[in-house]
A and B are shown apart, each in its own frame.
Chain A
Amino acid sequence: MAERIPAFLANWRQNIIYIGFVVIFVIFALTLSDKGFLNPTNLLNIIRQTAMIAVMAVVMTFVLASGEIDLSIGAVAGLTTVTVAMTIAVAGPFAGVMAGVATGIAVGCFNGWLTTRIGIPSFLTTLAMMGIAKGVAMWISDTAAVPILSPGYSWAFGGGSIGPVPVLLFWMLVAGALGHFVLRRTGFGRRVLATGGGETAARYSGIDTANIKFKVLVLSSFAAAIAGMLYAGRLQSGRFQLGEGDELSVIAAAVLGGTSLFGGKGTVVGTIVGALMIGLINNGLILMGLEFSQQLIARGAIIIFAVALSQKRA
């Protein structure tokens, strides 16, 4: 361990996310301690606000690593909150969960089919799907919030805690651990990295790259559906606005964590820390008492600064 630290610092550009996370945490801890930043409740709140982004960002790491992108996740999460809430209302929580999973897989299959069989770039497929998913959610819910009256569902999906620890933390940890393991230690993860790293070479090596991309896009919508179910549980309702705009935070989290927008590179651990960093910045800026407009500017500037530092100079 002792000899690994110098190597870690020598590759500081690569590890900027971890260094940056610690630096920002220390700065906030020093300057905002009187405003309760280090208060356990506040720290757990950061987790609560970050969990959905983190769950989606884990799979976004796979999507970006395979050389694709998914812009529809925020809207799919919103759509899922509505389908889950409406199904629970008529058929109970178990059916609701099934409906949520089905929503994700159906949208994912459609995205994957359009991208890998019809040949529409995923940027366009998922951009269009973003509008379609939102439209469907507005239409079937009549743009109204649908309440969820199942305490069990709400507890398990985001609302509950075990002692002081929110259930959302477990969702985030499970998603992160699973994602990290699949990307690093399974043949599927290796094929995802190979597909994004060099598609022709991957094909010549006998990898069905279209199939890999299809699966990755299905997984991405599935993760969006899980995030949607967590939103629905936490807020005990389904509304089309939930998750709106999340795709940008999710992509930012993955890129902050060192995942390449051009494919072939990515780590799930980095992505989780990236997501936490975005949550940390949001929280700190609010505690500082900045107005929303100022928060947006500061957050954008910090993200640009962090990514710029991680770039290798030519």
Chain B
Amino acid sequence: MTAVVMKGISKAFGGVKALDNVDFAVMLGEIHALLGGNGAGKSTILKVLNGVHRPDAGTIVVGGVALTTHTPEASRAAGIAMNFQEMSLIPTLSVAQNIFLTREARTARGFLDDAACEKKAAEIFAMLEVKVDPKAVVGTLGAGQKQLTEIAKAISQSSKVLILDEPSTALAVSDVDRLFTFLRKLKAQGVAVIYVSHRMDEIARIADRATILRDGKHVITAPLSDLPIDTMIEHIVGKRSKGLADVQRGAVTRGEVLLEARSLSGVHKPHDVSFALHRGEVLGLAGLLGSGRSSLARVIAGIEPATAGELRIRGEVVSIRKPADAIQAGVALVPEARATQGIIPAHSVASNIVLAVLNRISAKGVVDRAKAQKITDNMIAQLQIKTASRDHAVSTLSGGNQQKVVIGKWLATDPDILVLDEPTAGIDIGSKSEIIRLVRDLAAQGKGIVMISSELSELLTACDRILVMADGRAHQMIDRATLDDPAEPDLGHRLQAAERQLQIEIQKALSQETPHG
């Protein structure tokens, strides 16, 4: 018996095909893993099923009935429930109020009955054998408790199809075990569970079958018994990386140590991380969501406080308490969310680029326009920013060129150390290799660069060494060269093999952290 049959689903966003003629079917009483790299289309197909996105083409049948209206309410009525990775929680309401929002328990007269909701919420948490206070206000909870609330909200709908999108990123190991026990119970009751995770060890434990997507296309659907972890990774990675393989890494001349972390810890993450970054090298941080990569970057840049350990810059212990301290010490962070943290889209290229150095180019509070123009023109030339003029709004530029403006803004502060958090997110493949070439060039000019990317092929192309992280800890430092098989003549194949190898190391780091996993 099939619970869900999606046939020929296509969906494009502004000309970019997120899903291309994808078939996806889930049986009643099975746990079906949905796998794929970033941009493979997992979230999109789930949002289509859940009614958030309307498909451009294709049909959806749920429990034998065709789904013709594409709204969250219609999908819910058809028996589909999904967690939204914290997107569907209201911080000012309590846990119980959130779980039963729009489906509140009523008294005989039709008024809200919070006490009954709290009781029902407590029952759900008891069933999951986890401790969450139904009366607690969601905004005061930690990430793990929020995630459990999300999960409780999804399962409270007693739906026939339960979609869990990365439900375990913030959960403790013991809570994941309890969730799995519960999912097996649901499965026995005939519920279809769609489970998305990047953790292959989890998939191997819980899923019956898996569907793998890549670049918006269906690759394979098979029982887990036919999909050992390295086969899964092979299907996920596929033959991608075109355009990246020909970026030359060239010879590295490592200079003195620029940045050194000794047992550095943050509030939650990172935990006890040590590494050294040399002049002229690109150091990659690899790991899954929640591994502590971005937290480490934010601690270095002074956005989050360090709670233990020390940070040395050019051999001297520095105390970085706020972003201004980091800038002073020669550290610049190019943040992850370009549109909100990196640029002011409505302002011109010039005013964005000089934003971080306004003090330096101002005399008595008046900005020296000649200096500002010189800096901007230098950056436009050096980074090859394609813009109609320095006075055009940044919003008129392509994603790749917007990213160059952000990088240019921080280069203007003349940092020794540049931290790039997901510098290629949301830009096309051509611009991606251009950004990576730029990163290599900057390192060659004597900067030290820390780069975070979820795209392993990019890390492998850009970096000289890669630090693998999991659960806030550093697991191992891999020399990029050791991942290459010199016997493989084709650069593209060589990159693919290296990507598979790195993926395996990341998964290994996870299972070390979860011994019974």
Contact = CB atoms under 8 A, between A and B. Distances in A.
B88 A264 contact: no
A197 B88 contact: no
A143 interface: no
Interface string A174-185: 000000010011
A206 B93 contact: no
A198 B91 contact: yes
A198 B89 contact: yes
Interface residues of B, number: 18
Nearest to B97: A190
Chain B's interface: helix, strand, loop or mixed, by majority? loop
B504 interface: no
Chain A's interface: helix, strand, loop or mixed, by majority? helix
A191 B84 CA distance: 19
B104 A187 contact: yes
Contacts of B355: none
A189 B93 CA distance: 12
Contacts of A298: none
Given A204-B52, A206-B76, A193 B93 contact: yes
Contact of A264 (B87, B92, B112): B92
A293 interface: no
A206 B87 contact: no
Contacts of A263: 92
Please indicate which of the listed interface residues B76, B88, B92, B97 has the most CB atoms of chain A within 10 Å of its own CB: B92
15 contacts: A185-B112, A187-B102, A194-B101, A197-B91, A197-B93, A198-B92, A201-B89, A202-B90, A205-B102, A206-B76, A206-B102, A207-B101, A207-B102, A264-B90, A264-B91
Contacts of A191: 102
A200 interface: yes
Given A193-B93, A198-B92, A264-B92, A205 B112 contact: no
Counting from the closest, the 5 A-B pairs by CB-CB distance are A264-B92, A197-B92, A197-B90, A198-B90, A185-B111
Please indicate which of the listed interface residues A184, A200, A204, A265 has the most CB atoms of chain B within 10 Å of its own CB: A204
Contacts of A190: 93, 97, 101, 104, 112
A200 B87 contact: yes
Contacts of A189: 112
Contacts of B330: none
Interface string B77-103: 000000010011111110001000110
Contact of B88 (A185, A196, A205): A205
A263 B101 CA distance: 17
B305 interface: no
B492 interface: no
A200 B84 CA distance: 11
B91 A206 contact: no
Contacts of A197: 90-93
Interface string B361-382: 0000000000000000000000
Interface string A253-271: 0000000100111000000
Interface residues of A, number: 24
A265 B88 contact: no
A187 B112 contact: yes
Contacts of B97: 190
Interface in B244-299: none
A185 B113 CA distance: 7
Nearest to B112: A185
Please indicate which of the listed interface residues B52, B73, B111 has the most CB atoms of chain A within 10 Å of its own CB: B111
A204 B90 CA distance: 11
Nearest to B89: A201
A146 to B, nearest CB: 42
A202 B91 CA distance: 11
B37 interface: no
B72 interface: yes
A158 B111 CA distance: 31
Please indicate which of the listed interface residues B87, B88, B101 has the most CB atoms of chain A within 10 Å of its own CB: B101
Contacts of A265: 92
Contacts of B84: 201, 204
Contacts of B73: 206
A3 to B, nearest CB: 16
A72 B104 CA distance: 34
Given A186-B112, A201-B88, 6 more contacts: A194-B90, A194-B101, A197-B90, A201-B84, A206-B73, A264-B92
A295 B246 CA distance: 76
B38 to A, nearest CB: 22
B111 A186 contact: yes
A202 B72 CA distance: 12
Interface in B45-75: 52, 72-73
A193 B92 contact: yes
Interface in B113-141: none
Contacts of B91: 197-198, 264
A187 B104 CA distance: 8
A202 B89 CA distance: 8
Contacts of A194: 90, 93, 101
A260 B137 CA distance: 15
Contacts of B88: 201, 204-205
Contacts of A198: 89-92
Interface string A196-232: 1110111011110000000000000000000000000
Nearest to A189: B112
A186 B111 CA distance: 5
A265 B139 CA distance: 12
B410 to A, nearest CB: 27
Nearest to B77: A206
A205 B102 CA distance: 7
Interface in A149-169: none
Nearest to B82: A204
Please indicate which of the listed interface residues A181, A189, A264 has the most CB atoms of chain B within 10 Å of its own CB: A264
Please indicate which of the listed interface residues A189, A205, A263 has the most CB atoms of chain B within 10 Å of its own CB: A205
Given A190-B97, A191-B102, A194-B93, A184 B112 contact: yes
